[in-house]
Structure 1
Amino acid sequence: MCAGDDVNCPEFERHRAKMREALGMERRSFLKSAFVATGGAAALAAGTASTLVTPALAQASAAKAPDQPSYHYLPANDQTVHWGYFSKKLKPQVEIDSGDIVTIEALTHHANDDASLMIKGDEGAESVFYWTKDQKKVARRGAGDPNDTKLGGGGGLGVHICTGPVFVRGAEPGDVLEVRIVDTKFRPSMHPDHKGKAFGSNAAAWWGFHYKELLDGPREVITIYEMDASGARNWAKAAYNYKWTPQTDPSGVVHKTIDYPGVPVDHATIKKNTDVLKGVRVPIRPHFGVIGLAPKEADYVNSIPPSYTGGNIDNWRIGKGATMYYPVAVEGALLSVGDPHASQGDSEMCGTAIECSITGTFQIILHKKADIAGTPLEQLEYPMLETKDEWLIHGFSYANFLAELGPNAQSDIFGKSSVDLALKDAFKKMRTFLMTTKGLTEDEAVSLMSIAVDFGITQVVDGNWGVHAVIKKEIFADASV
């Protein structure tokens, strides 16, 4: 009997639709039941071991939230995503209260590097990537002019598929949003020959730091990686790679390079190399390259350069068990999630990570401006990461490039970034953190930064380059402050 997998069945389309609906319900049910079964909701509602959120602040924030958190599910489809930009003008896809839990599906914008493995048969992904000569279901891709016909709507500025935004009731400029990453799950391939597997793409592209240093001349190479969709196998392996060849999109535009998101690759035009990275196991560390709030400075903001409200930070540590803090810039905060990765190294050297689709579960807590006075969050003007053992501060070439670079900021940023500027910003932010949060003098902070803080290159490919500063909490085990 056909279960949606026999194309010769007279009722194939009806059976296929029924199978997709069942898969969608099963996915939602699994995520919610797994979260409840592990005591996730109760544990989160009880509080956190965070030391940035003082007991008094936690109590004040909890007093403004409902007694019990609600659970929300936000799927990724052509009605719930925005492609390539953040915007304070976007209509919220879901409204939540402080303390609520929300599961958000996030799609990789690189899925068309192998559509058979990462799109076909997946109803949500198919609706987002739908593109014929007559229609794109998600037309606007980028922060530019939506009527630009050269590269498609959006002018090509911005690339990430972002699900959301999530409107947080009561959030206002000056508040801080705490985002706890409770869980991550790979989005499984719907390919019938690859059940239980997930796939991702790594593009060594023209924007990569390596590009002008290649021994055999400039080229763009795509490597497809395979993961265990359940996460039981903690490593990925390369399936094959291929060199990018000029691709003609459904609108008839030829793309000699990877210059526009979502261009479908015609595999008849490429040569697959399956003899790649044999015997190499890449440790997986699922995370989100993009989690961010809407900035206030412009109506439409390119998703590529990160900034003070987060966005495309591309730090592999922003995964399960981590907590991010973001300054709120607009009413409702307008949180969006995208750019999911299976793994990435510091620097994201060649331009991308293993770009794959992931579903995340988050608890979102609002801390009001009046309540954070006198706490470590009082002077938080940038995205900050906290784990069980560490605090991590994100520095950028320009802390707020939209405000610092003027009317042409969204284009100028790509020619002005440097590691030196990002390191200086990370230093200044860490100095302030140590002086205000830990009560150190400037001299004490400077000495400690040189001997106990690890400064690393987060990424050098996102326009606004990043340097992170990491300090371990155990350093202060005997401190009275």
Structure 2
Amino acid sequence: MCAGDDKNCPEFETHRAKMMDALGAERRSFLKSAFVATGGAAALAGGGISLVSPALAQASAARLPNQPAFHYLPATDQTVHWGYFSKKLKPQVEIDSGDIVTIEALTHHANDDAELMVKGDPGAESVFHWTKEKKNVKRRGAGDENDTKIGGGGGLGVHVCTGPVFVRGAEPGDILEVRILDTRFRPSANPEHKGKSFGVTASAWWGFHYKDQIEEPKDREIITVFEVDANGGSPFAKAAYNYRWTPQTDPDGVVHKIIDYPGVPVDHSTIKKNTDILRGVRVPIRPHFGVIALAPNEADYVNSIPPMHTGGNIDNWRIGKGATMYYPVAVEGGLMSIGDPHASQGDSELCGTAIECSITGTFQLIVHKKADLEGTALEGLEYPMLETQTEWLVHGYSFANYLAELGPNAQNDIFGKSSVDLALRDAFRKMRKFLMTTQKLTEDEAIALMSVGVDFGVTQVVDGNWGCHGIIRKDIFAGRMA
């Protein structure tokens, strides 16, 4: 059911008005007053320790409007950029700190079954439109825009990103707080599947498993289509069918023997569907965004695949409704884009993807100025950090800032240099610094606590710049608050 966030709904405007009423003056006032009173994410999460101290919250709230404005950013061929981030992009919407913006995000795998995920959906149709006569979104990746060998952009980046959002007052050195207020699945426009959404898992050549298959043929790529309840009536996804990737000829006549370019329309007359899969298996739903990114400053066009110091393709399933992310701002306005929406994912994203499923998210964005950060937990934050009501989470990569560390050829070299060892060491170092600076622990204390109170895990091993994370529960420090 549309809740004011489905622009394909014939009663969208009516539902949108009701949503605005629900988030009326009383609710908007609460967002600001609670932010000041308790600091940051804790206000929306129901209390607890937050990275945003009351003093920082007070300073940041002084710059908020009396009532936040609401913005809506649909996903169309005019509002997305495909496969790259760039400080040169024109903002699709400009907002003030404290404003709330609803953003549609499309999965780049929708053309794996266009009947279920594209057809009849005007926004998706405009983005994925590709015929011999016209390709609406020509550039797909950070490569040469005019390259015709494989397609504009060279496929050096795959994610359909909506945005960017320009936040007035955000400047390099500031921190942008991104609260994820809501996530909703984008319903299929196919009338035969009303009330359902669909997503795709691609077991592909970039997956960690690929060179370790035991059944023949050992170089196979498998597409698995999952079904979810678009209205949230079921907390589980179930597999609908799978098929083996077969060579696909795109509308420009290029043959894709493997999944090497995003958005290639799959001709279903060339595949064989297998519906007898994962019988009785229910996959818990974890709606989240694999990509939330601010534009980096190191290069004009940056591949969307490797995660970086300003966010990007982190692929952490915890970055969903109720969570808050903190990002270092590298360029004026931040230039935030979202993409790579997932219905669910496990730590590691082993086969190459999650359940890639179009989702609409609602976010509140708060600017914390550099001048106000001194002595706070956010001072000197140089990477994306996640906060929930109960936990803090640091993100470590094989290279914390690969664009700066690997030199002029970084966007190519990163794919051959990553390791879990490097990512875990980066996560360990970030957690050590976090504990020593925010909790005033000695190094010896921090190391001991990490071994017994921090859960380190593998975020992903498929995105070029591999990731590990460290999680610590806030209640470990409850005795300090007594």
Q: Does the TM-score normalized on the shorter chain lie above 0.5?
A: yes
Alpha-carbon distance, 1:44 to partner: 2.6
Please give the alpha-carbon distance, in whole angstroms, between the structure 2 residues aligned to 1:475 and 1:181: 25
Does residue 1:44 correspond to 2:45, yes or no?
Answer: no
Q: Deviations over 1:15-59 (max 9, x none)?
A: xxxx957265467557656x6289764443231425110001001
DSSP-derived class of the 1:347 partner: coil
DSSP-derived class of the 1:22 partner: coil
Alignment match, 1:210: 209
- Is contact 1:243-1:271 (8 Å) kept? yes
Alignment match, 1:76: 75
Aligned residue identity for 2:310: T
- Is contact 2:29-2:67 (8 Å) kept? no
Alignment match, 1:14: none
Does residue 1:192 correspond to 2:179, yes or no?
Answer: no
- Is contact 1:28-1:73 (8 Å) kept? no
Structure 2 vs 1, CA of residues 200 and 256 (structure 1 numbering), >3 Å: closer, same or farther? same
- Is contact 1:44-1:363 (8 Å) kept? no
Structure 2 vs 1, CA of residues 456 and 92 (structure 1 numbering), >3 Å: closer, same or farther? same
DSSP-derived class of the 1:223 partner: strand
Aligned residue identity for 1:375: T
Give runs of aligned pairs for residues 80-119 of structure 1, distance below 5 A: 80-119=79-118
DSSP-derived class of the 2:383 partner: coil
Structure 2 vs 1, CA of residues 425 and 119 (structure 1 numbering), >3 Å: closer, same or farther? same
DSSP-derived class of the 2:382 partner: coil
DSSP-derived class of the 2:344 partner: coil
Please give the alpha-carbon distance, in whole angstroms, between the structure 1 residues aligned to 2:18 and 2:411: 41
Give runs of aligned pairs for residues 183-332 of structure 1, distance below 5 A: 183-216=182-215, 217-332=218-333
Alignment match, 1:127: 126
Please give the alpha-carbon distance, in whole angstroms, between the structure 2 residues aligned to 1:242 and 1:40: 47
| Number of matched pairs | 462
Give runs of aligned pairs for residues 463-478 of structure 1, distance below 5 A: 463-478=464-479
Structure 2 vs 1, CA of residues 75 and 37 (structure 1 numbering), >3 Å: closer, same or farther? same
Structure 2 vs 1, CA of residues 119 and 38 (structure 1 numbering), >3 Å: closer, same or farther? farther
State the TM-score, normalizing by the size of structure 1.
0.94
Please give the alpha-carbon distance, in whole angstroms, between the structure 1 residues aligned to 2:26 and 2:209: 45
- Is contact 1:96-1:166 (8 Å) kept? yes
- Is contact 1:116-1:191 (8 Å) kept? yes
Identity of aligned residues (%): 75
Please give the alpha-carbon distance, in whole angstroms, between the structure 1 residues aligned to 2:170 and 2:416: 34
Q: Deviations over 1:381-428 (max 9, x none)?
A: 000000000000000000000000000000100000000000000000
Alignment match, 1:462: 463
Please give the alpha-carbon distance, in whole angstroms, between the structure 1 residues aligned to 2:24 and 2:319: 24
- Is contact 2:99-2:365 (8 Å) kept? yes
- Is contact 2:173-2:328 (8 Å) kept? yes
Gaps of 5+ in 2: 1-6, 43-48
DSSP-derived class of the 1:477 partner: helix
Aligned residue identity for 1:214: Q
Structure 2 vs 1, CA of residues 194 and 244 (structure 1 numbering), >3 Å: closer, same or farther? same
Alignment match, 1:409: 410
Alignment match, 2:65: 66
- Is contact 1:133-1:250 (8 Å) kept? yes
Does residue 1:341 correspond to 2:342, yes or no?
Answer: yes
Q: Deviations over 1:185-226 (max 9, x none)?
A: 000000011100000000000000000111121200000000
DSSP-derived class of the 2:462 partner: coil
Please give the alpha-carbon distance, in whole angstroms, between the structure 1 residues aligned to 2:147 and 2:475: 53
Please give the alpha-carbon distance, in whole angstroms, between the structure 1 residues aligned to 2:15 and 2:130: 26
Please give the alpha-carbon distance, in whole angstroms, between the structure 2 residues aligned to 1:191 and 1:174: 46
Structure 2 vs 1, CA of residues 136 and 27 (structure 1 numbering), >3 Å: closer, same or farther? farther
Please give the alpha-carbon distance, in whole angstroms, between the structure 2 residues aligned to 1:41 and 1:207: 45
Alignment match, 1:22: 10
Q: Deviations over 1:211-261 (max 9, x none)?
A: 011112120000000000011210000000000000000111000000000
Alignment match, 1:10: none
Aligned residue identity for 2:131: T
Please give the alpha-carbon distance, in whole angstroms, between the structure 1 residues aligned to 2:120 and 2:93: 26
Structure 2 vs 1, CA of residues 159 and 64 (structure 1 numbering), >3 Å: closer, same or farther? same
Q: Deviations over 1:255-309 (max 9, x none)?
A: 0000000000000000000001011100001000000100000000000000100
Please give the alpha-carbon distance, in whole angstroms, between the structure 2 residues aligned to 1:278 and 1:135: 41
- Is contact 1:286-1:343 (8 Å) kept? yes
- Is contact 2:154-2:261 (8 Å) kept? no
Please give the alpha-carbon distance, in whole angstroms, between the structure 1 residues aligned to 2:355 and 2:125: 20
Please give the alpha-carbon distance, in whole angstroms, between the structure 2 residues aligned to 1:307 and 1:185: 26
Alignment match, 2:145: 146
Alignment match, 1:382: 383
Please give the alpha-carbon distance, in whole angstroms, between the structure 2 residues aligned to 1:271 and 1:57: 58
DSSP-derived class of the 1:291 partner: strand
Gaps of 5+ in 1: 1-18
Please give the alpha-carbon distance, in whole angstroms, between the structure 2 residues aligned to 1:134 and 1:450: 59
Please give the alpha-carbon distance, in whole angstroms, between the structure 2 residues aligned to 1:436 and 1:272: 55
Alignment match, 2:46: none
Q: Deviations over 1:314-357 (max 9, x none)?
A: 00000000000000000000000000000000000000000000
- Is contact 1:147-1:153 (8 Å) kept? yes
State the TM-score, normalizing by the size of structure 2.
0.93
CA RMSD for the aligned pairs? Answer: 1.6
